[in-house]
Amino acid sequence: MALQTNQDPPLDLPPRRTLYQKSEKGRWQAEYVRRLRITDALVVCGAIALAQLIRFGGPNNDAPLDWAGDARIGYSVISVLLALTWVGFLAVGNTWSPTAIGTGPEEYRRLIAATMRLFGLIAIVSLLLRIEFARGYLAVAFPVGVAGLILNRLYWRKFAARRRASGRYLTSVLVVGRRDSAREIMRCFDRDPGVGYCVVGVYTPGGGDPIEAETDESDLPIVGEWTSVLDAVTATGADTVAIAATEQLGTAGINDLLWKLAPLGVELVVTPGVMDIADQRLSIRPVANLPLLHIEKPQYDRARSFGHAVFDFAFAAAALLAVSPVMVAAAVAVKATSRGPVFYRSERIGLHGTPFRMIKFRSMYADADRDLAELLPANDGAGPLFKLRADPRVTPVGRILRKYSLDELPQFINVLRGDMSVVGPRPPLRCEVERYDGKVKRRLLVKPGVTGLWQVSGRSDLSWDESVRLDLTYVENWSMVQDLLIIKKTISAVARSEGAY
């Protein structure tokens, strides 16, 4: 008679993946790359055909190439050769590499770099062979081609995002490490769902985890106790392994795992243990075959440069000029519908803790601050912030102004005065700053902004911790490109009126 034990019943696991069997990620990725290749080639051909049509009037009016040789070569032949060479440069430039597609800046950088190499080759060939290419032909083909390639990638990225929203085009990830590290990785994936990473399991080397009894792990997909990471990978069907336990596996263990995962078509990524660091601050420098991740110091000093101040002034002046009719209409509406001044001036804390008066269109009834104490228990804001979704002090016109952020347009006057920037952390109240700890005070190292990461990431719907994280991320990773992207996203966020009340 068999002895009864208290062991758990065996897990009903999916079949193990055989060697070189293509994963679900591999299948959709191959399909995605194939579509990119076809559409990129069509864009290149279309741009060159358009250039020939504009410059020469089409193939029926084929003009000969101006060069020192005896052979007569028409631009129809040149167009075919140029299209084939351009597509070849895109291939050689790894523009269709699975590691680059869908990554944004790196993807576009490779497209532009491949095209610039082709342009350089044409310049060298024309110089050596004394060929005079029609300038109008090239002046149309290259800009139209590059713009078309970038728009094509934007289209397919949105296509992939729609697929991921419906549960397709996902990358299943097995996290190797402590469960607190796994939880942090999952939060990062949740903040950027467009990437399509989905944690399907958490494996702790050695089987033990001292924090297991101290925290609630109900939302973590614990895959069970296996003898090796490889067993966990094949059982969960993971496409990617994310290692957050480098000290437990060691360099030899990670290299060994890499060799074992390669035949399964599973990718390996190693999390560096740092968060909210922009890619422009990261660089890998190998030392004796040991890759070292170098992190540059925070870049908040660049946000206070003279060039940034000139941009702020010019943008604010142009914005005030462009929206002046809207501001006049808003001012008339505020004055005509309720008693009180048109503008509301609120004390805020700016650069290095310096107070200033922030200007907004008045959206509440006069003397609304007197009722604040009675409304504090109903606060919908996060942390020290006070917000009410249905604030009884807001006027009917004020609700419209707040919904579309029109009440904030006068803040561009603060930008002209030098109190604020166009983009920056949210301008805090004095009572908020008095509750800041040493970490949160770093928000005051740059000027507050009319808009910022908080504005395009949820606005009033953000938690206090998330709002602080976004502000500090901006302060530490400032770049002009990021400011321009935030301005672009702000227009979309304001139009949708999400998180505004």
pLDDT tens, residue order, the chain (501 aa):
333 334 444 434 334 444 334 456 667 888 889 999 999 999 999 999 998 888 877 656 666 665 555 556 777 788 888 999 999 999 998 888 877 777 677 888 889 999 999 988 888 888 887 777 778 888 889 999 999 999 999 999 888 888 887 878 888 888 888 777 777 888 888 777 777 888 888 887 765 544 343 334 455 667 655 567 888 888 788 888 888 867 677 777 788 888 888 888 788 888 877 776 766 777 777 777 777 777 777 777 777 788 889 999 999 999 999 999 999 999 999 989 888 889 989 899 999 889 999 999 998 887 766 656 565 555 555 555 656 666 777 888 988 888 888 899 999 999 999 999 999 998 888 888 888 877 888 888 889 999 988 777 766 566 777 788 888 888 888 888 888 888 988 887 776 665 554
Q: Find, among 346, 348, 370, 345, the residue nearest to 432 by Cα.
A: 348
The answer as to whether 7 is a domain residue is no
Q: What length is written for the chain?
A: 501
Give the count of beta carbons closer than 10 Å to the beta carbon of residue 194.
13
Q: Which domain holds residue 264?
A: 171-273
Residue 191 belongs to domain with CATH number: 3.40.50.1980
123 and 184, same domain (yes or no): no
Residue 12 lies inside a defined structural domain of this protein: no
pLDDT of residue 148: 94
Could you tell me which residues come within 8 angstroms of residue 459 by beta carbon, excluding any fewer than 6 positions away? 493, 498, 499, 500
The backbone torsions φ and ψ at residue 382, rounded to the nearest 5 degrees and listed phi first, read -105, 135
Within a domain: residue 282?
Answer: no
Domain final position from 165, 198, 229 = 165
User: Is residue 294 in some structural domain?
Assistant: no
295 phi and psi angles, rounded to 5 deg: -120, 120
The CA–CA distances, whole Å, from 269 to 124, 162, 255 equal 40, 25, 12
Please give the C-alpha separations between residue 124 and each of 88, 134, 310, 334, in angstroms, as whole numbers: 18, 15, 39, 65
Q: CA–CA separation, 176 vs 203, rounded Å?
A: 5
Phi, psi of 426 (to 5 degrees): -65, 135
Q: 346 with 440, same domain?
A: yes
Terminal Cα distance for the chain, rounded: 71
Q: How far apart are CA 320 and CA 478, in angstroms?
A: 25
Q: According to the model, what pLDDT value does residue 87 have? A: 94
Domain check: are 314 and 335 in the same one? yes
Question: Are residues 254 and 356 located together in one domain of the fold?
Answer: no
Is 470 among the domain residues?
Answer: yes
Quick one: 178 and 258 in the same domain?
yes
Is 107 found in the same domain as 145?
Answer: yes
Shortest CA distance to 467 belongs to which of 381, 396, 399?
A: 381
**Do 488 and 354 share a structural domain?**
yes
Residue 140, H or E segment? helix 135-165
Residue 343 has a pLDDT of: 92
Residues 34, 124, single domain; the answer is yes
Evaluate whether residue 296 is within a structural domain.
Answer: no
CB atoms within 10 A of CB 180: 15
- 142 neighbors 169 (Cβ within 8 angstroms): no
Are 118 and 211 members of one domain?
no
Both tokens of 81, joined, read 């050769």
Closest Cα to residue 99, out of 230, 287, 268?
A: 268
Tokens matching residue 119: 């342009």
Number of domains in the chain: 3
Kindly state the helix (H) or strand (E) to which residue 135 belongs, with its residue range. helix 135-165
Q: Whole-angstrom Cα distance, residue 461 to residue 501? A: 9
The confidence score (pLDDT) of residue 434 equals: 84
Pair 176, 161 in one domain: no
- Is residue 14 in a domain? no
Assigned domain for 279 exists: no
Which of 116, 143, 165 marks a domain boundary?
Answer: 165
For residue 305, what are its two tokens?
């440069």
pTM score of the predicted model? 0.66
Q: Are 478 and 446 in contact (CB under 8 A)?
A: yes
Q: Which residues of 44-64 are buried (b: 16+ CB within 10 A; e: fewer)?
A: bbebbbebbeebbeeeeebee
Q: Can you tell me which residue has the tokens 């700053």? A: 433
Q: How far is residue 472's CA from residue 478's CA, in Å, rounded to a whole number?
A: 10
H helix intervals, 59-134: 75-92, 105-128
Q: Which run of H or E residues covers position 345?
A: strand 343-349
Domain endpoint, select from 113, 132, 165:
165
Determine phi and psi for 175, rounding to 5 degrees: -95, 130
Q: Are both 178 and 263 inside the same structural domain? A: yes
Same domain, 487 and 434: yes
The confidence score (pLDDT) of residue 213 equals 33
The amino acid that residue 291 corresponds to is P
Cβ atoms 235, 13 nearer than 8 A: yes
